[in-house]
Structure 1
Amino acid sequence: MKLSPGDIVEIETDAGFSYVQVTHNHVSYPEVVRVLPGQHNARPELALLAKAPSGFSAMFPLGGALEQGRISGRKVGNYAIPDADKAFPTFRMPVRDRQGQVVYWWLWDGEGLRLESEAGEANDTLPMREVMPLDGFMARLS
């Protein structure tokens, strides 16, 4: 299933419905999505939900997971992406020493990498540069 930026997908979870919005497509990765807040027993007003702050962002093959039946959900609309989420998110990737300690971070903005040698709290909030596995994605939704 081809999803485009702005598309909102309703996903069935054990706790109710979760909603994600596709923010970006990248030629080398699956969709970049932002998770919209809350678990819902019924479909909320999507225009309002689309304006809400993101719970988290991730690279996740949402269209493929829907098409293959790996998750139960459906596209329910297309809404403007909030200004705070229009830029491609910066993803982080740790480089570790032999003891497993992070020596520095590579930060990726969808085009280029930059080195970040200072471990700072700001890096802790960035999503990891990985294609999130299905189990991890669904666990974070719940």
Structure 2
Amino acid sequence: MSLRAGDIVEIETPQGWLQGLVMAQEAGYPPAIGVAMVLHDAPLPAPAAPLDPTALQVVLMPLDRAQLAGHLRVLGAQRPPPSPGFRVPVRDRAGAEIYDWIWQAGRLRLRRPEDADDLPLREIRALDDLVEDLAGRAKRR
């Protein structure tokens, strides 16, 4: 299954089910997923109601493992939101930021970190790390 911008997805985790919206998908990079800050106690019905992109937390999240394990399903689709603009830091082995990948207007380009302060920062997050972070902050339903 290949994800596309506008797909509404459900991700099964040990703590519950997350719902999200694929905001952007660039070849060779993890998809930008807008995640609803809610953990559901049961799977969601399909098709899903449209999500408000402005109410979602956007992260870059590799979903290959969730797809392969059968923990991800597409619940529906909606008109893709405008491609979000943000920067993704690229770090050296010591953790220092050396440059940024810039996602803007559906294109990727390089920019020095000091020239990208006007864009929100998005880190690439592992699904397990995101779920652990959300478990303490998300509402339960």
Shorter-chain TM-score bucket reads 0.5 to 0.7
2:105 is aligned with 1:108 = no
TM-score by length of 1: 0.67
* Contact 2:6–2:79 (Cα < 8 Å) also in 1: yes
In structure 1, C-alpha distance between the alignment counterparts of 2:6 and 2:56, rounded to whole Å: 16
Q: What are structure 2's unaligned runs of at least 5 residues?
A: 136-141
2:31 partner SS: strand
Tell me the alpha carbon deviations over residues 32-89 of structure 1, each in whole angstroms, 9 at most, x when there is no partner.
21112312234379325x1253442222232x223320x623211112234xxx2243
* Amino acid paired to 1:93: P
2:10 is aligned with 1:10 = yes
Percent identity (aligned): 25
User: Residue 57 of structure 1 aligns with which residue?
Assistant: 58
Aligned residues: 129
1:138 partner SS: helix
Closer/same/farther in 2, CA of residues 55 and 3 from structure 1, 3 Å limit: same
* Contact 1:58–1:127 (Cα < 8 Å) also in 2: yes
User: Residue 134 of structure 1 aligns with which residue?
Assistant: 127
Q: What are structure 1's unaligned runs of at least 5 residues?
A: none
* Amino acid paired to 1:108: I
Closer/same/farther in 2, CA of residues 116 and 66 from structure 1, 3 Å limit: closer
TM-score by length of 2: 0.67
User: Residue 75 of structure 1 aligns with which residue?
Assistant: 74
User: Residue 46 of structure 1 aligns with which residue?
Assistant: 48
Closer/same/farther in 2, CA of residues 31 and 118 from structure 1, 3 Å limit: closer
* Amino acid paired to 1:58: V
* Contact 2:88–2:121 (Cα < 8 Å) also in 1: yes
* Amino acid paired to 1:72: H
